[in-house]
Chain A
Amino acid sequence: MADSIPVTLTINDTEYNLDVEPRLLLVHAIRDVIGLTGTHVGCDTSQCGSCTVLLNGEAVKSCSMLAVQADGQQIETVEGLAAADGTLHPIQQAFAEKHGLQCGFCTPGMLMLSKALLNENPNPSKDEIKHALAGNMCRCTGYQNIVLAIEFAAGQLSR
């Protein structure tokens, strides 16, 4: 086992100083070391997107990078979406409004992906949304209501 390496991760505006094994995945640093378990692990081949977080504002699959690669960077997870007073983010509200979740396991990844998408393209078409979801799998919803939720959130955010 290689020696631990010190890393600093800023997650949802809180700074965490960790000593990690070089092989530790970012998702395991977030879940197991820091204890933010809203970010999920659904596969071992970078397919499912359950682990999606924002790294400096961009959606990344936190299972496909090492914690040490995120040293010094800004990370946002599902726990950071709601406002400080607890008000749900418009994207979260849209998922509730449009029944965009059933079991809720894929949901944190879907929400983070949606946030990155709408940052980049505030008014996406249905096809653009479906395309953006190519790396995020849901087994419960058939995606239709997820797409509707993202469209609805886009409308709310651009008001």
Chain B
Amino acid sequence: MTTSSPPRQIGQSPRRKEDDRLLRGQGAFSDDINIPGTVWAHFVRSPHAHARILNIDFSAAMAHPGVLRVLTGADVHPPYHPIPPVLAVRDAENRDNEAGAPAFTLIARDKAKYAGEIVAIVVAETREAARDAADLLMVRYEPLPVANSPEQAMEPGAPRVHDERSNEQVRWLKSTENVSSTFEDSEIILRHDFVNQRIHAVPMEPRAGIAHWDPATQFLTIWASIQGAHELRTQMAEVLGISPDQIRSVAPDVGGGFGAKHGGEVEYFLLAIASMELGLPVKWAASRTEEFLSLSHARGKTSEFEVAADRDGRVKALRLRHTTDLGAFPKGATPIVAQTSAIIATGVYGIREAAFEVHSVYTNHTPEGAYRGYGRPEGINLIERAMDMLARDLDIDPAEIRRRNMIQPEEFPYYRTPGGDIYDSGNYPEALERALEVSGYEGLRERQREMRADGKYLGIGLASWVKTGGFGPSSLDPSSSMPEWARVKVSPAGAVTIYTGSSPHGQGNYTTYAQVAADTLHVSIDDISVTHGDTATVTYGMGTFASRNMVVGGMAVLQASQKILDKMTRFAGHALGSDPDGVDFTDSVFNANGSSITFREVAARINQVLERPPGMEMGLDESSFYQPTHLTFNYGTYVAVVEVDPETGDVDLQQLFCVDDQGVVVHPVIVEGQVHGGAAQGIGQALYEDIVYDENGQLLSGSLMDYALPTAEMMPEFISEFIETPSPTNPLGVKGMGEGPTTGAPPAVVNAVVDALAPFNVRDIAMPLTPERVWRAIQDAQNGDQS
């Protein structure tokens, strides 16, 4: 068969199909869903970071009007099970996984392990009654010493978060052969300790859910603000001890997730348990304070970092000791985040020798989880900060030192890094040169010199970064292979419906999946609808995370669309008296032997038994799994421009130039929006956001009053450009891209601020670069205390 299509949809930017409802206020977010007879849950949370629970007296709470039930740990564990552990770890033989993972309990039984852990659930007829009654619950605690940082938690005799095991969950070592000798032979050794602060994803929609166990049919329906309905169903079945076939799980409209809503959250299991106990629909909507206390945090790491280089700034080797704060429980695969984070620390550079030592440690903090970038922002930040330090020490321009070290285009495809990542494709120097060009780098340096002469401090910061996409390939540990599923069906009237197992929540895949199918089937995207996020209509699904929606989910849509086209072509051949190979498909019309039949005619007539070729089933309804074979690696170079006021320490971030290569760009406007949003989150980390605990493990930044979420005035002008090197891993040529900007922005911004302050000899400032920290760094540097 031959095809030639109407103007390709891929690469265009049609208006988003998802917008209309959302603009009318007709979205259905979890808290918007109401079922008659719903009752409300309120979670009572530990005020202590670490404490024995001596007694819970709920008599007064039970006596409160409207209260239906109080559940405590004694009611939940047993009979219900903890969340089953996921612990896929690369290079498993190097893993010290002592005593396995601790049970991820839903509710504290004997002791509370972080401030915010649930100790009881009050269910009442109204939201207000549940909350009022919760205040009447009397819990007696015996506070215990707190494991308040991973370093302290690893010391001998430190308080144990889980009584039955040590605090260190993962200790992992990996090294190439000649690291020590390379360091010994190197003229230049740079060593620096970095802190990557803990932050919070802060999706604007706080979590909410409603669980409805119907005792008559023994069937559970749960709506929840999550990134994957199917995963919740799988976990739910294990926790409740029922079959997945007794569960319908729905992710309705979800107001942002960014990784934090990936995987089941204890609250959703507890809603289901409360509903099973009462036989009523039970609902909960988190307050923002609850979100800060209990929705996973991320990024908390400390790193001892060393690079060995020659006098020309060519980096030969690195050593990294990377320690991560898991918090109190292992959410999802979080114990291995530090490994993925460590191995990406060779970045976009051809560094041949590397040694990694990783420690993942429990503390009495809120559990960590995924957050846009999944460890890579921390790893890339190390090498990108180190490149700038090295450049300064050797008096080489930051652009030039990067140029000298980059992996070259001819080393692709499939460049293997010392850590074991396999970079699929790219032209790293091109992204760098393009970023220098669009930012007017030379002119900026000139302006910087002029402004310095006037006592003004302009800073220019570069970051060249790389980030994985398209999880999870079969080439990794088989336990981490994750295909995605799609079904495409065409109605007799010609309407196309896509069912996808991925679960977009802002990424625009309602539109971009329609573009993919439109290019294969030659239909208007207006005639395509997309269904997702409901186990009742979507047979299989893995969900949305790890920049996989287009790479894996999009490929499944492509494959299912191609199956539809194949069947239509066979039908058309039969109808036109031709072999399928002799059929041409152009502008939605099948042609052969001088006659033709339209897409719509095939869609209608394939249902007529007398028209079909022998053996062909009626209908157009095909599904497909796509199993990626390799990860994809999007990359880019960002240039940040700041002006710093040394008197106040105030940073004015003026512009962020972003040159990204995410392979083929399906919808430039949506992709640019992802760049803005991802970079905004990276800027938040660089300049504003911080999860702060006091010496007792109490969260100090637990509201939007105390946690500096960026607002419009804190944002620079974003200038976004793309280069396209198609990924060889998949026929769409896409690489995924949502997480790259979050990876690239922080080091670009920090490098810019440190660059601005070079005349003051400031060498490093720990994120977030608040005015106070910037001002102190200037004072310290002036007093000769190097940071």
Across the interface, name the chain B residue whose C-beta is closest to A137.
B709
Q: Tell whether A61 is near chain B: CB-to-CB under 8 Å.
A: no
Interface size bracket, B side: 35 or more
A40 in contact with B680 (CB, 8 Å): no
Instruction: Give complex CA distance A46, B621 in Å.
Output: 49
- Identify B25's interface contact among A37, A45, A147, CB under 8 A: A37
Contact with A along B121-133 (1 / 0, CB 8 A): 0000001100010
A44 with B24, Cβ < 8 A, contacts A50-B204, A141-B677 known: no
Instruction: Give complex CA distance A111, B27 in Å.
Output: 14
Q: Which residues of B contact A147 (CB under 8 A)?
A: 712
Q: Which residues of A contact B26 (CB under 8 A)?
A: 38, 79
Contact with A along B278-303 (1 / 0, CB 8 A): 00000001011100000000000000
B289 in contact with A44 (CB, 8 Å): yes
- Identify B677's interface contact among A79, A135, A140, CB under 8 A: A140
A45 with B288, Cβ < 8 A, contacts A79-B24, A108-B25, A139-B258 known: yes
Q: Which residues of B contact A108 (CB under 8 A)?
A: 25
Contact with A along B11-32 (1 / 0, CB 8 A): 0000110111011111111011
- Identify B676's interface contact among A50, A111, A142, CB under 8 A: A142
Among the 9-residue stretches B389-397, B504-512, B760-768, the one with 4 or more Cβ atoms under 8 Å from chain A is B504-512
A140 with B32, Cβ < 8 A, contacts A44-B288, A104-B255 known: no
A44 in contact with B287 (CB, 8 Å): yes
B20 in contact with A96 (CB, 8 Å): yes
B204 in contact with A139 (CB, 8 Å): yes
Q: Which residues of A contact B132 (CB under 8 A)?
A: 1
B704 in contact with A137 (CB, 8 Å): yes
A79 in contact with B25 (CB, 8 Å): yes
A102 with B704, Cβ < 8 A, contacts A41-B206, A141-B677, A144-B715 known: no
A45 CB, nearest partner CB in chain B, Å: 4
B16 CB, nearest partner CB in chain A, Å: 7
Q: List which A53-112 residues lie within 8 A (CB) of chain B.
A: 77-79, 81-82, 88, 92, 95-97, 99, 101-108, 111
Counting residue pairs across A and B whose Cβ atoms lie within 8 Å, the total is 179
- Identify B204's interface contact among A77, A103, A143, A145, CB under 8 A: A103
Across the interface, name the chain B residue whose C-beta is closest to A134.
B711
Q: Tell whether B679 is near chain A: CB-to-CB under 8 Å.
A: yes
Q: Which residues of B contact A23 (CB under 8 A)?
A: 128
Contact with A along B660-673 (1 / 0, CB 8 A): 00000000011011
B200 CB, nearest partner CB in chain A, Å: 10
A42 in contact with B288 (CB, 8 Å): yes
Q: Tell whether B747 is near chain A: CB-to-CB under 8 Å.
A: no
A103 in contact with B256 (CB, 8 Å): yes
A43 in contact with B256 (CB, 8 Å): no
A143 in contact with B19 (CB, 8 Å): no
Q: Which residues of B contact A102 (CB under 8 A)?
A: 256, 506-508, 673, 677
Q: Which residues of A contact B715 (CB under 8 A)?
A: 130, 142-144
Q: Tell whether A36 is near chain B: CB-to-CB under 8 Å.
A: yes
**Most B CB within 10 A of own CB, among A42, A50, A99, A142:** A142
B15 in contact with A97 (CB, 8 Å): yes
A103 in contact with B712 (CB, 8 Å): no
Across the interface, name the chain A residue whose C-beta is closest to B711.
A134
Instruction: Give complex CA distance A144, B709 in Å.
Output: 16
Q: Tell whether B254 is near chain A: CB-to-CB under 8 Å.
A: yes
B679 in contact with A142 (CB, 8 Å): yes
Q: Which residues of A contact B672 (CB under 8 A)?
A: 99
Q: Tell whether B205 is near chain A: CB-to-CB under 8 Å.
A: yes
B652 CB, nearest partner CB in chain A, Å: 13
A77 with B670, Cβ < 8 A, contacts A103-B254, A137-B711 known: no
- Identify B712's interface contact among A44, A105, A130, CB under 8 A: A130
Q: List which A111-140 residues lie within 8 A (CB) of chain B.
A: 111, 129-131, 133-140
B296 CB, nearest partner CB in chain A, Å: 15
Q: Which residues of A contact B287 (CB under 8 A)?
A: 44
Q: Tell whether B623 is near chain A: CB-to-CB under 8 Å.
A: no
Q: List which B480-537 residues lie within 8 A (CB) of chain A.
A: 505-508
A145 with B673, Cβ < 8 A, contacts A42-B288, A103-B506, A104-B19 known: yes
Q: Tell whether B203 is near chain A: CB-to-CB under 8 Å.
A: yes
A110 CB, nearest partner CB in chain B, Å: 10
B676 in contact with A104 (CB, 8 Å): no
A127 CB, nearest partner CB in chain B, Å: 8
A134 CB, nearest partner CB in chain B, Å: 5
B718 in contact with A144 (CB, 8 Å): yes
- Identify A104's interface contact among B27, B258, B678, B709, CB under 8 A: B27
A101 with B288, Cβ < 8 A, contacts A133-B712, A139-B709 known: no
**Most B CB within 10 A of own CB, among A21, A42, A135:** A42
A133 CB, nearest partner CB in chain B, Å: 4
B23 in contact with A107 (CB, 8 Å): yes
A43 in contact with B703 (CB, 8 Å): yes
Instruction: Give complex CA distance A41, B127 in Å.
Output: 15
Contact with B along A19-47 (1 / 0, CB 8 A): 00101000000011001111111111101
Q: Which residues of A contact B289 (CB under 8 A)?
A: 44
Across the interface, name the chain B residue whose C-beta is closest to A24.
B128
Q: Tell whether A154 is near chain B: CB-to-CB under 8 Å.
A: no
- Identify B15's interface contact among A96, A104, A107, A142, CB under 8 A: A96
Across the interface, name the chain B residue whose C-beta is closest to A130.
B712
Q: Which residues of B contact A9 (CB under 8 A)?
A: none
Instruction: Give complex CA distance A77, B670 in Å.
Output: 27
Q: Tell whether B363 is near chain A: CB-to-CB under 8 Å.
A: no
- Identify B718's interface contact among A21, A129, A142, CB under 8 A: A142
Instruction: Give complex CA distance A35, B31 in Å.
Output: 11
B256 in contact with A140 (CB, 8 Å): yes
Instruction: Give complex CA distance A50, B28 in Å.
Output: 15
Q: Tell whether B717 is near chain A: CB-to-CB under 8 Å.
A: yes
Q: List which B692-706 residues lie within 8 A (CB) of chain A.
A: 703-705
Q: Which residues of B contact A133 (CB under 8 A)?
A: 711-713
B25 in contact with A39 (CB, 8 Å): yes
B704 in contact with A105 (CB, 8 Å): no
Instruction: Give complex CA distance A142, B246 in Å.
Output: 41
B257 CB, nearest partner CB in chain A, Å: 8
Across the interface, name the chain B residue whose C-beta is closest to A97.
B15
Q: Which residues of A contact B28 (CB under 8 A)?
A: 37
Q: Which residues of A contact B324 (CB under 8 A)?
A: none
Instruction: Give complex CA distance A38, B27 in Å.
Output: 7
Q: Tell whether B202 is near chain A: CB-to-CB under 8 Å.
A: yes
Instruction: Give complex CA distance A135, B711 in Å.
Output: 8
A114 CB, nearest partner CB in chain B, Å: 12
**Most A CB within 10 A of own CB, among B15, B253, B669, B712:** B712
Q: Which residues of B contact A140 (CB under 8 A)?
A: 204, 256, 506, 673, 677
- Identify A96's interface contact among B16, B29, B127, B713, CB under 8 A: B16
Across the interface, name the chain B residue whose C-beta is closest to A38.
B25
Across the interface, name the chain A residue whose C-beta is closest to B719.
A144
Q: Tell whether B681 is near chain A: CB-to-CB under 8 Å.
A: yes
B751 CB, nearest partner CB in chain A, Å: 20
Instruction: Give complex CA distance A19, B27 in Å.
Output: 27
Q: Which residues of B contact A129 (CB under 8 A)?
A: 712
A103 in contact with B255 (CB, 8 Å): yes
Across the interface, name the chain B residue whose C-beta is closest to A82.
B24
Across the interface, name the chain A residue whose C-beta is closest to B507.
A102
Instruction: Give complex CA distance A11, B255 in Å.
Output: 25
A45 with B712, Cβ < 8 A, contacts A99-B16, A101-B22, A103-B255 known: no
Instruction: Give complex CA distance A41, B225 in Å.
Output: 14
- Identify B23's interface contact among A50, A77, A101, CB under 8 A: A101
6 CB-based A-B contacts, threshold 8 Å: A103-B203, A105-B204, A136-B712, A137-B204, A139-B677, A144-B718
Closest 6 CB pairs of A and B: A38-B25, A105-B255, A104-B22, A103-B506, A142-B680, A142-B676
List 4 extra interface pairs beyond A40-B29, A48-B288, CB under 8 A. Answer: A40-B204, A43-B288, A104-B19, A104-B27
Chain B residues with CB under 8 Å of chain A are 15-16, 18-20, 22-29, 31-32, 34, 65, 127-128, 132, 201-206, 253-256, 258, 285, 287-289, 505-508, 669-670, 672-673, 676-681, 703-705, 709, 711-713, 715, 717-718
